[in-house]
A and B are shown apart, each in its own frame.
With several copies, the nearest count.
Chain A
Amino acid sequence: MIDKRVDSVAQAVDGIFNGATVMIGGFGEAGSPIELIHALIDLGAKDLIVVNNNNGSGHVGLAALIENEQVSKMICSFPRTANSTVFPDLYHRGDIELELVPQGTLAERIRAGGAGIPAFYTATAVGTPLAEAKEVRNFDGRDYVLEQGLKADFALVKCARADRYGNLVYNKTARNFGPIMAMAANTTIVQTGAQVEVGEIDAEIIVTPGIFVDRIVTVANPVHESRLVNDGRTYP
């Protein structure tokens, strides 16, 4: 029987190893799997390469993971957010590496990684510093830069509802990077707001089919990062 459910966030993140590449869903706080990130802080895995559009805010979630010095490198498009001080401090000290990727290129690289495309060409960043040292090639009179697919050892993703097969649906703009990160990771770990029976989610509306999901844990009332930040909360 296929049953990808686990009982706790600790079980969900079990096995994330030192040096792993971890994709973390979310655009700002929307879709941020904050309970899974906190479980990863508890686990203590170090030297992580983290892929996320941003770099967290305040002293909870992704910012707390960075602050706890578990991240050696961030791959992201916008490492500047309101209330973000953790990353800048480490970055200026030279204690964390940054690979800056345009947001659409980041999304497409993740999608390519998940779809078995090792590399593709895009017009984004041509003629800018972010295309320096990259191969540029002309197709039909326009220049494009070669970008490589991006895969991960683990993905941490937040969704709204899931069944035991791992079929997922999301909530509004919390969908963002979740579906493509689920495709691009060897082990995709999902926190869901609710579990439903197999068959309860209409086959026509499933956003992430279960084939892309490995572990599911229910977090019925996830915290909101912005509220934690406003309350001055920290983790651990």
Chain B
Amino acid sequence: MSAIALAASIGWDREQMASRAALDIPDGAYVNLGIGIPEKVAQYVPEGREVIYHTENGLLGMSATLEAGQEDPELINAGKKQVSAIPGAAYFHHADSFAMIRGGHIDICVLGAMQVSQTGDLANWSTGSVDAIPAVGGAMDLVAGVKTIYIITQHCTRTGEPKLVGSCSFPLTGKAVVSRIFTDLAVIDVTPQGFKLVELAPGVELDYVRQRTGCELIADDWQ
């Protein structure tokens, strides 16, 4: 059995990755969640914390909970899924919404990634393929404007390529923007010295993570 095939069965699953990331979102934070696994973070707010979710299409106070009969095709999130609004929510137009982002008012944004470099560069919008239709959405605005960028991603691509790399080969979304990465295998910080291990998923060995990381991984506390 190859190491790659094993990868699916060890470490954190998607729900656990989201729940681990949720632990690092403090009470009272204003948070924007990207499409995919990041959306799940909202389901795992630890007891006693109140977190306000922003969706860049014009709502502060988004809830993924959708009661039957309350659906409105004009109440959607950035992924164009129907959502609901909490009591105390506010609607606003797109320029005001991105003023919140660009002006540094959103505390944390959790995004997916195609590649993250050891200097915190993020690539998550384009493979650079000439065939693909480029589509960027709000990702570049979010990484440029939000104070803290968290990434949730599988540690490797489906074909086993590392997503944490020395430098990104894909076109960038932003330079030096990522603070912390939550993968299926570990929690890793971007530091001035490079990637630094914060936590290993249960049952995952340091060497196993290192083999799947495209550059140095600092793990002084584990040696």
Contact = CB atoms under 8 A, between A and B. Distances in A.
A–B contact (CB under 8 angstroms): yes
Interface of A: 1-2, 27-31, 53, 77-82, 87-88, 91-92, 98, 100-105, 107-108, 110-111, 113-117, 122-130, 163, 165, 167, 170-180, 183, 198-199, 203-204, 206-207, 209-212, 224-227
A100 B131 CA distance: 15
A173 B76 contact: yes
A198 to B, nearest CB: 4
Nearest to A109: B95
B57 A104 contact: no
A115 B136 contact: no
B80 to A, nearest CB: 4
Given A115-B103, A116-B101, A203-B89, 6 more contacts: A81-B80, A98-B133, A107-B93, A171-B72, A172-B74, A227-B73
Contact of B135 (A80, A105, A199): A80
B29 to A, nearest CB: 9
Contacts of B72: 171-172
Nearest to A123: B144
A108 B90 contact: no
Contacts of A173: 55, 57-59, 74-76, 91
B93 A27 contact: no
A229 B204 CA distance: 46
Interface of B: 27-28, 30, 48, 50, 52, 54-61, 72-76, 80, 85-95, 97-106, 121, 126, 131, 133-142, 144-145, 171-175
The 3 A-B pairs at the shortest CB distance, nearest first, are namely A199-B87, A104-B141, A104-B98
A211 to B, nearest CB: 5
B88 A198 contact: yes
Nearest to A57: B80
A171 B145 contact: no
Contacts of A28: 76, 80
Contact of A203 (B56, B90, B98, B175): B90
Contacts of B133: 79-80, 87-88, 91, 98
A88 B132 CA distance: 9
Nearest to B135: A80
Contact of B104 (A81, A116, A198, A210): A116
A211 B80 contact: no
Contacts of B144: 122-126
Nearest to A151: B103
B172 to A, nearest CB: 5
Contact of B93 (A77, A91, A180, A226): A180
Contacts of A31: 74
Given A128-B174, A209-B90, A107 B97 contact: yes
Contact of A177 (B48, B94, B103, B106): B94
B57 A176 contact: yes
A32 to B, nearest CB: 9
Among B94, B105, B131, find the residue whose CB has the most chain A CB atoms closer than 10 A. B94
A130 B172 CA distance: 9
B61 A203 contact: yes
A203 B74 CA distance: 14
Contact of A175 (B52, B89, B92): B92
Contacts of B55: 173
Contact of B105 (A29, A78, A178, A183): A183
Contact of B98 (A88, A108, A113, A127): A108
B84 to A, nearest CB: 10
